[in-house]
Structure 1
Amino acid sequence: MYKIEASEKVQHEYESDNIIIINNGFILVGVIIVAVAAVIVFVAAAVVATGAVVATGAVVVVVLVVVVVVVVVVVVVVVVVVVILVLVVGVVVVVVVVVVVVVLTSTCSFCSNSGSSSSSSSSSSSSSSGSSSNTSISGRSSSSNSSSSTTN
């Protein structure tokens, strides 16, 4: 009888320790996400305040900064989740989660194309119009400048 009560007490203490670990892990993930969001907002505000968005290379830099920050957040969150799973559930579930994450990231089209950028410029002297455009679609950044002049 005493042995069963002692076993239940140890089990209860183990479960309460796991709950504390999980709560601390979620708090840590929340703090990291808030900090990264603050960095993104700060970088965006700095770029807008300095008027650097108009410059051709600034859009590429902002996109790359955002992509790097997102990748860091994802890695930190994955590490925290893996540590929590190791402490709570065990190694078998962690191996399955790691395999799923690796498969998902290897098939992610946004992740593989996030660093590509292209730029082109052309000039002609037959008409009298000039245009400039910058576009950014899902991590890819491209800019094109065309100018023309007419002389009489």
Structure 2
Amino acid sequence: MKKFTLAALLSATLLAGCYSLPKPTIITMEQIRNLDYGRYPSDYEQIVKRHLARTLIDPNSLMLDGISKPRKFVRLERTSLPVKTDTPIRDIRGYIVCARINAKNRYGGYTGWQEHAYIIYNGQLYEDVLGAQCFNQDELMVSVEAGAYIKVTENGNEIQVY
């Protein structure tokens, strides 16, 4: 039994050594900065408030502790799995705004203060976009899908590798 276990372990190690990861696609920050992020949402507060009024269980209970100013946001991900270097890259982009809210749930109790990230592209609001995080205060926020084999560089230096 020990010989079988050792042989299986050795075979698995040799097979793993034969597998090579695809080379990452390199995207520069200059390319990212030159993307079209849509028009700047000067009415971002109204867009978020309208969304909350439509989606909250009890919109009248809304307590709003502010909405951040819009910042550019892009999410880079592959369009299909398994990832290969020729698999196209999809980007989700727009302006990210964060709202700190507290509202009542179905039971009539407040849920507690929570931050929610929203992406606005040409007046259209999107929520629950992976990688959209409120704690990041960069003027341009870049999120890369884990395992997508995308390398983001600036001036030849790696910024993010996934």
- Give the TM-score range, shorter chain: under 0.3
TM-score normalised by structure 2 residue count: 0.24
Q: Select the structure with the greater relative contact order (CA < 8 A; seq sep ≥ 6).
A: 2
Higher relative helix content? 1
Name the larger-Rg structure.
Answer: 1
Higher relative strand content? 2
TM-score normalised by structure 1 residue count: 0.26
